[in-house]
Structure 1
């Protein structure tokens, strides 16, 4: 009986994946002691089986600037985004409200698919995003591991060590022509284009290999 159930589960087609590029700006290295001060998201594309369809990354987007959750910050980290921390203390969105709005947005754009957060690299952005989702509402639309690291994706496709998977060594056709501004929404849109380019990319020499 167990083998029949296992076979039935394996025969079911996997749900489509909807890849959502996310970029966060923070005022320190880790969430909790420090704050996520802004984040942006853009739908990159949808994967059904082996088929990936790129989206217009400017069509479905989300952006919020957040009130800091502590008084601690690292000036060098804060300077990256050029956001005014005093203004955010006064005017930034309450994290619980922003995360509730973000959950609703993710579920709206991913109807019929499993949402997957993607970033380059994902480790920093996912750490803050997941911590905020769980700390302010206790629920993540991506589950506990629904993220894809574009750095790892490139390293695996290109057959290079992870430390060599840097944008400066990537083929230029993979990179977005948009500038990297350190505005969270701008950078999420830029990353969405990189994601779609990576998903469509066949490294030189692999196209002619026997299947």
Structure 2
């Protein structure tokens, strides 16, 4: 490993509020760029991506949560990837890209709490070798914006951000689309000086 960070934007779609009683249905990763402590180097967020749809792990689900992604649980029960296979493949993919960049992998999401909770739990529960991000190598884009803008966290929403920070892509609730969209947001935030 080198002395820089490689940021992996991640988005999760799930059928409930917490892992275990409910299931993660899909997730996507997009490599957003690297940071050496002083310079952020963006990467094409479509160049390195990972996406998978998973077999549910429980019978419980919240219909409103399921409706957000539009994924079909019956199809996923029949055709979704086994969680152990999916999480092991994702962990290997993250580690390989970080090793090629001679960097430490850093998980990034907007907001971090929901996506990290699901991914960390699934990595620990199902992936060979556990989480490629350890237990704490994660960056919350919402907090990053709040710190740079001098804004309250509760006000650090996309609707209040300067328009030049916002990605051109739509937020579709397809995990890979949204991971790519958020990779662009992270790039903009990392290169922003905090001024309008």
**TM range, normalised to the smaller chain?**
over 0.9
TM-score by length of 1: 0.89
In the TM superposition, residue 204 of structure 1 has moved relative to its aligned partner by: 2.2
1:8 equivalent in structure 2:
none
1:109, 1:204 → 2: CA distance?
33
RMSD over aligned Cα atoms: 1.0
1:116 equivalent in structure 2:
106
In the TM superposition, residue 120 of structure 1 has moved relative to its aligned partner by: 0.3
Picking from 25, 28, 46, the partner of 2:16 is: 28
Is 1:186 aligned with 2:177?
A: yes
Is 1:87 aligned with 2:41?
A: no
Is 1:129 aligned with 2:111?
A: no
In the TM superposition, residue 15 of structure 1 has moved relative to its aligned partner by: 1.4
1:53 equivalent in structure 2:
41
Picking from 10, 15, 18, the partner of 2:6 is: 18
In the TM superposition, 1:70-85 aligns within 5 A as 70-85=58-73
**How far does the alpha carbon of each residue in 1:26-70 deviate from its partner, in whole angstroms, 9 at most, with x for none?**
000000000000000000000012110000000000000000000
2:145 equivalent in structure 1:
154
| Unaligned segments of structure 1, at least 5 residues | 1-13, 206-211
2:63, 2:92 → 1: CA distance?
33
Deviation >3 Å, runs of 4+: none
Report the 3-state secondary structure (helix = DSSP H, G, I; strand = E; otherwise coil) of the residue aligned with 1:180: coil
Higher-Rg structure is: 1
Report the 3-state secondary structure (helix = DSSP H, G, I; strand = E; otherwise coil) of the residue aligned with 1:110: helix
2:23, 2:137 → 1: CA distance?
22
2:104, 2:95 → 1: CA distance?
9
TM-score by length of 2: 0.96
Report the 3-state secondary structure (helix = DSSP H, G, I; strand = E; otherwise coil) of the residue aligned with 2:89: helix
1:144, 1:58 → 2: CA distance?
27
2:54 equivalent in structure 1:
66
2:156, 2:98 → 1: CA distance?
29
1:168 equivalent in structure 2:
159
2:176, 2:89 → 1: CA distance?
16
Aligned residues: 192
